[in-house]
Structure 1
Amino acid sequence: MTSAHIPQPSGTLRAVQVFGACGGGHVSSLSGGLVARGIEVTVCAPAASAAAYGFDGTGARFAPVEIGGRPGPLGEAAAVAALRAACAGTHVVHAHGLRAGMLASLALTGARGPALVVTWHPPAPAFGTRAGLTRLLERRVARAATVVLGASTDLVDRVRGLGARDARLAPVAFPVPRPRHAPDRDALRAELGAEKRPLILAVGRLEPYKGHDLLLDAARCWRALDPAPLVAIAGEGSRRAELAARIEAEDLPVRLLGRRGDVAHLLQVADLVALPSRWEAHPLIVQETLRAGVPLVATAVGGVPDLVGDAAVLVPQGDATALARAVADLLADPARRTALTTEARAQAATWPTEDHTIAQILSVYDELTGAPAR
């Protein structure tokens, strides 16, 4: 489906990767893989992302663009101008996320090519006027893109409903950091306060859509267990003060750990992981959990059911009672936890590797530009 308006590469295929608040790890992995396959890659992202995601080691050129930086028309105009300059003479622009897709589409308005590929990372649920504006933005980006890639079937169906010309399933393989050494299990559990009781781990931003309020509701039920499990929540966000106040007022067995750089170690010492989200797309913590073989209880939202198959216990979104019961049942059933460990690792083995993801993306670029198959 090559377009006559898309410039055909006579030499090296040139691609620009654009991202803001989401997708940094994936873009870093993708950029390095594309460069290794002979693609000339420029990455446009906030300046702080260069070091945070190790772009220096990918072989890609990094062009700082404050995607999602200064609010208002002036900030957007500056980002669009910077993107327009970075995209001049390129063959494919690949935006990751809604805001990146919107700014990239504005930068390419009126241009004869390049192709615009958007990997769809839908925003967190919005309400009221903001919800209406978000849907308008989604529709504009979906219709502006040459191809939209969605990590799960529900995302592909959604973007088709928004009017996308070409929407495809493209599961994302995120690089998962492996700990260089095993943690001292007893010492880490003692640090968390879980020496002689089960440890339930939750990882995610402290924002409403992550459902931590439901996790606190469930924790209230777990106080009756003997021993009562400890819930450890790794992450930061706007709801920290509100959650901390509830934990203290209700004397809940919950610790807010803040932002942690040792999630891989936390997974190794946890008895199970809880994901109480009201919405998710293709959560990295689910991939990390199943690869680590840790039993998972999660809400059946977004792309989670497709991702886990039968390798996790799924409960309805918003049902704290179902969440509490599922966790309590697992804690009381060591054989089921062992079976889930085996199923989790088997399910993780079915996911696409980084090489598969890179090859699929490259095949899309080649198709759009008419480049010979590699």
Structure 2
Amino acid sequence: MSPVSSNASHGQSPLRTVQVLGGGNAGSSAHVRSLAAGLVARGVRVTVCAPAEADRAYGFSGVGADHVHVPRSSDPGSVAALRAACTDADLVHAHGLHASFRAVLALSGRRTPLVVTWHSRAEAEGARAHLLRMLERRVARTAAVVLGTTSDLVDRARRTGARDARLAAVTLPGLRRPPEGDETDRQRPKLRAELGAMGRPLLVAVGSLDRQRGYDVLLDAARAWCRLDPVPLLVIAGEGPLRPVLQRRIEDEELPVRLLGARDDVPHLLAAADLALLTSSWESRSVLAQEALHAGVPLVATAVGGVPDLVGDAAALVPYGDAVALADTVLRLLGDPERREELREKGTRQAASWPTEDETVTQVLSVYDELTQPRPL
């Protein structure tokens, strides 16, 4: 049986928690919605503080949570709005660095326990990087517990001064699943024909066209695939600021690569693919990696951030920025159907080992109970 809040188990009024989001990226927003639904189902009162557009997009109110509009961090009134929303909270849980820092400011002078979850690593250069490190230290040293979605984020929190840093059990709610059975058999050849990948291997990468994704290295590696017969086709689903630069390289170097733009049929793309490629400089719990393993698609990924812990031995890992290693790994896998089948089987088993939404909520609630239970005199 899943635990209930300590207040409820002692016949007291229900535990009241406040979940704090900043702008709310897709991963953390989906996580908060799932967490809110699970906590409400266990008798916990939940208020989600986030911009109004986040509630419209993710429906926190629809799962039984109260929603309070708190503007983004750039709004000077955001801290005051958050402080008012946290007035009667038994515990505050903030998600992401900027939301966590605002929660620290809002709770200043109060004894309300603060839990923070770091879903990803804040990236910046120069003076902004120094500012982010200062924010990290303030948050880590103030929070009662820091939950990191990867082991390296937990280590980072500890180095930064966290009193208590733990690995978070986090699942990806609403994971886009591939089609199955007859639908796959119908869609696969049709989509491959539309993409121009009939009679040739299809490689799929998914993610915004920005520097973190390592697409420059991916294009370097694509040059090596040109010597194969037939030449593999690489398709990249996503949109972003680097599109003109990448498109120019593809045309100038005559690379076998297509930029597809933003797509809403990623599960179908993966179901049609021979390999999925993840070349980022850093990832927490990569959505593409999770979708690929669930779909039984062999994955080649950079050994960065939370990727090695996430995939275990169910993917071929390469160093970030090493185009030669990436190209060689892809070439070996394309020529080794037995190894690809082994990765498919391992991927399915690895995906089955990831935490469920219920396990995620159970872990978080156990932390809440630990911080809110009456202490012996």
TM over 0.5: yes
Aligned equivalents of 2:177 and 2:273: distance in 1? 16
Counterpart position of 1:3: none
Deviation at 1:291, TM superposition (A): 1.4
Aligned equivalents of 2:24 and 2:234: distance in 1? 28
The one-letter amino acid of 2:327's match is: A
Structure 2 residue 323 is matched with structure 1 residue 320: yes
Deviation at 1:64, TM superposition (A): 2.4
Q: Secondary structure at the match of 1:93?
A: strand
Question: Superposition pairs for residues 228-307 of structure 1, below 5 Å?
Answer: 228-307=231-310
CA RMSD of aligned residues (A): 1.9
| Structure 1: gaps of 5 or more residues | 1-7
Deviation at 1:56, TM superposition (A): 4.0
Counterpart position of 1:47: 52
Greater Cα shift, 119-128 or 223-232: 119-128
Contact kept? 2:239, 2:262, Cα under 8 Å: yes
Kindly tell me: are residues 9 and 160 of structure 1, through their superposed partners in 2, closer, same or farther at Cα, counting changes over 3 Å? Answer: farther
Deviation at 1:323, TM superposition (A): 0.5
Counterpart position of 1:167: 165
Counterpart position of 2:100: 101
Contact kept? 2:38, 2:358, Cα under 8 Å: yes
The one-letter amino acid of 2:47's match is: T
Deviation at 1:117, TM superposition (A): 0.8
Aligned equivalents of 1:210 and 1:319: distance in 2? 13
Kindly tell me: are residues 37 and 359 of structure 1, through their superposed partners in 2, closer, same or farther at Cα, counting changes over 3 Å? Answer: same
Counterpart position of 2:6: none
Aligned equivalents of 2:86 and 2:255: distance in 1? 52
Structure 2 residue 281 is matched with structure 1 residue 311: no
Deviation at 1:283, TM superposition (A): 1.4
Counterpart position of 1:214: 217
Counterpart position of 1:12: 14
Counterpart position of 1:34: 39
Contact kept? 2:20, 2:94, Cα under 8 Å: yes
Kindly tell me: are residues 199 and 314 of structure 1, through their superposed partners in 2, closer, same or farther at Cα, counting changes over 3 Å? Answer: same
Q: Secondary structure at the match of 1:177?
A: coil
State how many pairs are aligned: 358
1:7-31 alpha-carbon deviations (Å, 9 max, x no partner)? x994011111112333111111111
1:76-124 alpha-carbon deviations (Å, 9 max, x no partner)? x2211221122110111111111111111111112231x1111112334
1:116-141 alpha-carbon deviations (Å, 9 max, x no partner)? 11111233432222222221111111
Counterpart position of 1:4: none
Question: Superposition pairs for residues 179-194 of structure 1, below 5 Å?
Answer: 182-183=183-184, 184-194=187-197
1:187-227 alpha-carbon deviations (Å, 9 max, x no partner)? 22222222222111111122211111111111111111111
Aligned equivalents of 1:284 and 1:290: distance in 2? 10
Kindly tell me: are residues 179 and 286 of structure 1, through their superposed partners in 2, closer, same or farther at Cα, counting changes over 3 Å? Answer: closer
Contact kept? 2:82, 2:106, Cα under 8 Å: yes
Structure 2 residue 64 is matched with structure 1 residue 59: yes
Task: Give 1:336's match in structure 2, choosing from 339, 348, 351.
Answer: 339
Counterpart position of 1:226: 229
Aligned equivalents of 1:85 and 1:262: distance in 2? 42
Aligned equivalents of 1:111 and 1:132: distance in 2? 28
Deviation at 1:67, TM superposition (A): 2.8
Greater Cα shift, 121-130 or 133-142: 121-130
Aligned equivalents of 1:349 and 1:106: distance in 2? 40
Question: Superposition pairs for residues 148-159 of structure 1, below 5 Å?
Answer: 148-159=146-157
Greater Cα shift, 149-158 or 252-261: 252-261
Counterpart position of 1:86: 85
Q: Secondary structure at the match of 2:276?
A: strand
Percent identity between matched residues is: 60
1:140-160 alpha-carbon deviations (Å, 9 max, x no partner)? 111121110012221111110
Deviation at 1:371, TM superposition (A): 7.1
Q: Secondary structure at the match of 1:126?
A: coil
Aligned equivalents of 2:319 and 2:336: distance in 1? 21
Aligned equivalents of 2:55 and 2:263: distance in 1? 20
Contact kept? 2:179, 2:268, Cα under 8 Å: no
Deviation at 1:180, TM superposition (A): 6.6
Aligned equivalents of 1:9 and 1:90: distance in 2? 18
Q: TM-score, normalised by structure 1?
A: 0.91
Aligned equivalents of 2:336 and 2:106: distance in 1? 56
Contact kept? 2:314, 2:347, Cα under 8 Å: yes
Structure 2 residue 26 is matched with structure 1 residue 24: no
Q: Secondary structure at the match of 1:165?
A: coil
Structure 2 residue 84 is matched with structure 1 residue 123: no
